[in-house]
Structure 1
Amino acid sequence: MKIKQTEFVISAVGPSQYPEGDLPEVALAGRSNVGKSSLINKMLLRRNLARTSQQPGKTQTLNYYRINGELFFVDFPGYGYARVSKSEREAWGKMIERYLREREPLKLVLQLVDVRHPPSAEDVRMYEWLSHYGIPMIVVATKADKVSRSQWPKHLKVIRTSLGMPGHVPLVLFSSETGQGRDELWSMIAQAAGIPLNSPSEPANNAQETENNG
């Protein structure tokens, strides 16, 4: 994917603040500190467009990023952070659920999980919720550079088993440090969003192949 233009558009808390128009939207969900901001920056080849933070739970809105004038990334608040009050978590949950159930331009959800650890209870609930409502998704196993290559198949199998993922749901191994999985993910996003890949990409290491060959 050739990135020509990227911009942060708005931090929204409800439908009245969502951007107008019908550009396709790809949402990113995951636990706090799973690497959503780092993934956005790597996907868009921008160092600090999405601000990474050492303070989990900082994102409290739906943050919109416009890409090439043809697509939005929508970054969700991270879930599972204990220091956020129960009332705040409930408010975020309602905001996210309303968006997921009602937002017509939504084409795909990237659910991020940390490849180093088995999915949490919150990860399982999010996956089951998306599955129940039939929302197209890709599970992205982040921080691949933190695990030795020989251990990838084992960790990917744990993720599939813990989430109860059938084989047709994509599982992509990703590293914001090395770029592992970037091209593969862009190919899937472009297909789901109905936008062209503007330039040919080099083949990326394929997490599905890693699983099958493991």
Structure 2
Amino acid sequence: MRQLLNATFYVSVHETRELPKHSGVEIAFAGRSNSGKSSAINALTNINRLAFVSKTPGRTQLINYFQLKSDHFLVDLPGYGYAKVPESIRQHWQNLLSNYLQTRSSLKGLILIMDVRHPLKPLDIQMLDWFSATGKAIHILLTKADKMSKFQANAALQKVALYVKEVYPQCSVQLFSSLANIGIDDATAIINKWMQTD
């Protein structure tokens, strides 16, 4: 099941024109700053510091590529929604994200990270709108599920699942915790399935 092992850093990209040319498959990870995106990538690949985890939101300012086998890549996108980032940088991120998400042909699916305690914020909805227009698959990880009781976490999951079923039919959702090892196998299975599609 754990086919996301042996990931290695491949390249960092600051501009759309720098995106690597290959004939493979990319799975992108996006989420608000401090939502647990880097921790999720590290948990899924079982490499503690593959994606840099920072207590300072807005730290990921580049598109970071991690190579799995041959032409399979996990792509860590800049976190969005951090107010202290200068407007010029925030605008650059937004343009880079929207261009990548809407035009990248090798991108097969989006893993969207949301803190289970604060899901479906306006920028999360914007991200869903941007990407759902492509018709490609979206899978939401409701991270930090260990920070709530099981009852609370399941209630949040049900609420988000009902919403996306109505508005974004190609979207699925699950609970996730990198610290408590919740949902890692389920998320891995989704990603492996996407990578096997032509």
Query: TM-score w.r.t. structure 2 length?
Result: 0.90
Q: Is the alpha carbon distance of 1:104 and 1:168 closer, same or farther for their aligned partners in structure 2, counting shifts above 3 Å?
A: closer
Q: CA RMSD in A?
A: 1.9
The within-5 A match list for 1:57-206 is 57-160=58-161, 165=167, 169-194=171-196
User: Number of paired residues?
Assistant: 195
Deviation at 1:162, TM superposition (A): 5.6
Q: Which residue of 1 aligns with 2:41?
A: 40
**Percent of pairs with identical residues:** 35
User: In structure 2, how many angstroms separate the alpha carbons of the residues matched to 1:167 and 1:60?
Assistant: 30
Question: Aligned equivalents of 2:162 and 2:108: distance in 1?
Answer: 25
Distance 1:89 1:162, change over 3 A: farther
Deviation of 1:14 after TM superposition, in Å, equals 2.6
Which ranges of structure 1 fall in alignment gaps of 5 or more residues?
A: 196-214
Name the stretch that deviates more: 11-20 or 182-191.
11-20
The higher radius of gyration belongs to 1
**Normalised by the size of structure 1, how large is the TM-score?**
0.84
CA distances 1:100-128 after superposition (whole Å, capped 9, x unpaired): 12211100101111101242111111112
- Give the AA of the match of 1:123: D
C-alpha separation between the residues in 2 aligned to 1:169 and 1:46?
27
Unaligned regions of 5+ residues in structure 2, if any? none
Q: Which amino acid is the alignment partner of residue 32 of structure 2?
A: R
**How big is the shift at 1:4?**
4.7
CA contact (8 A) 1:112 1:141 kept: yes
Give the C-alpha shift of residue 161 in structure 1: 5.2
